[in-house]
Structure 1
């Protein structure tokens, strides 16, 4: 593994009248340093409503960067600031801007740019990979065509119409960060600015914002990683997207982490981080 240099609070774009920032982590010369390196843009989780680009940097981002990847952990606008597809616009802005940020710091890049997201961040990463820049018009990314070369999504919601009642595996458990008995708010409806009514318009908007509705062969390799005991976003979300991508002849693979709930510490195990790094690097 290689030493990792970090630089925080780097501006990558502007939106809603303010700067959007990222934290950069990149490997520096070590015993197994290989240059040039690929880029991974990391999207944190938090139900589109909370979370930070600094989340899990020590246990997750730095080990993957040490494996030979330049990582930009970006902030994106949360649902209390901007409704969908603002988050998609932010990620596309990062796809355009981040390579130059690393080059300005003297990092030799391979030209490979990937996305890696967890939970809500995994949903956004998949949408950026599966949906063309022209699909959601009217945003600041109109005319941009940057797309990821590969995508990794950990425990992502892939069908927003099923967020309330997706089937969970036997033995599924809620994550430790949710106290027992606490109701999970309808974060997917908050993301789209929808009310409580389950009408046809709401269902259509939720479906259109779902990765599974856009499965096609026109996508770089996708790796899905999910826990088999996730009761918040059941593994059936990843399984359904995997099957849809396979039916579309798209390159996709899936890893099921036994005994893992949502955002379980098991995901930061070296085996999972190693599989993630290999996919981001395009290693066989």
Structure 2
């Protein structure tokens, strides 16, 4: 006997928001980028106080370093979302502040090059350079402990973080943990479906993939499709997803594949929520709770 399924439930904080998601207009991309940055105070709040915040040059890659305390600190390299075409230091400032405050680790937010002006592999190369900088003498001047390194990111930033974790393993760089918020994993879009809920829509996700990885590039390469690489030996991983997000099936499948490969892997799904909720700390109660879960996971593996 088939059990009746409960009706889909949207959190009241989601229902209160109009669905303003529209097809991406490449001619207005600069305007969209400005709006995302300008709207961050309303969406995410002012951000919690952090002991010290400074913009840094991570071997040519712009970054922002959040230090929650004095002394030599472990480091979380944070990679922002935005479909590889949007977002930056301003859009994720409140989130990175909270992650630093909650985890007790320094957080390095990476301002990688964006598509379509800089298609793959520019963003991944920038993340690698920032990670290398964390272990350099220049970073040591900021009292960073490059031997206690973790990675984190949301959406397309989660994709870049997942790719970086495997590349670090292959380059002999120890990563103690990764925390991924609704990461993009599969360029085929096989499980996306359609949605009428506020948040990410399949046509926009397809457009982002097409400008990030132009035609002619092999999308089965593990630097593009993280689940298709060798997952053995990757760091303990937390994957946070949202119930009403077209990326949830692929993100949770990635978490399952990691577990099957012998990696410590945990997945949490936020009920009633949509894609992008973690950055919107002033809109969704679940955002700070998700950051707390991620911070606890990172702190546990970075300690000692």
What's the TM-score once normalised by structure 1's chain length? 0.76
Deviation at 1:131, TM superposition (A): 3.8
For residues 1-284 of structure 1, what are the structure 2 equivalents within 5 Å? 3-8=50-55, 10-14=56-60, 20-28=61-69, 36-58=72-94, 60-67=95-102, 68-100=104-136, 101-105=138-142, 107=143, 109=145, 111-131=147-167, 145-162=172-189, 165-167=190-192, 173-175=197-199, 185-194=206-215, 205-208=218-221, 209-231=224-246, 233=247, 235-264=248-277, 265=280, 266=284, 269-282=287-300
Distance in structure 2 (CA, Å) of the matches to 1:116 and 1:183: 23
Distance in structure 2 (CA, Å) of the matches to 1:11 and 1:22: 6
CA offsets 1:144-203 (integer angstroms, 9 cap, x no match)? 5435221111111111112xx42459x77231xx7x998555211211121xxxxxx66x
Closer/same/farther in 2, CA of residues 270 and 181 from structure 1, 3 Å limit: closer
Report SS of the residue matched to 1:260.
strand
**After the TM superposition, which segments of 4 or more aligned residues of structure 1 sit over 4 Å from their partners?**
99-102, 180-185
Distance in structure 1 (CA, Å) of the matches to 2:146 and 2:134: 13
Closer/same/farther in 2, CA of residues 181 and 129 from structure 1, 3 Å limit: closer
Deviation at 1:86, TM superposition (A): 2.2
Distance in structure 1 (CA, Å) of the matches to 2:204 and 2:290: 30
Deviation at 1:129, TM superposition (A): 1.0
> What runs of 5+ residues in structure 1 fail to find an aligned partner?
15-19, 30-34, 135-143, 195-200
Closer/same/farther in 2, CA of residues 184 and 251 from structure 1, 3 Å limit: closer
Q: Does structure 2 conserve the Cα–Cα contact (< 8 Å) formed by 1:54 and 1:73?
A: no
Closer/same/farther in 2, CA of residues 174 and 219 from structure 1, 3 Å limit: same
The number of aligned residues is 246
Q: Does structure 1 conserve the Cα–Cα contact (< 8 Å) formed by 2:169 and 2:234?
A: no
CA offsets 1:93-114 (integer angstroms, 9 cap, x no match)? 1111024454313x36373111
Q: Does structure 2 conserve the Cα–Cα contact (< 8 Å) formed by 1:172 and 1:230?
A: no
Q: Does structure 2 conserve the Cα–Cα contact (< 8 Å) formed by 1:95 and 1:147?
A: no
Which structure has greater helix proportion?
2
What's the TM-score once normalised by structure 2's chain length? 0.72
> What runs of 5+ residues in structure 2 fail to find an aligned partner?
1-47
Deviation at 1:126, TM superposition (A): 0.3
Report SS of the residue matched to 1:206.
coil
Report SS of the residue matched to 2:162.
helix
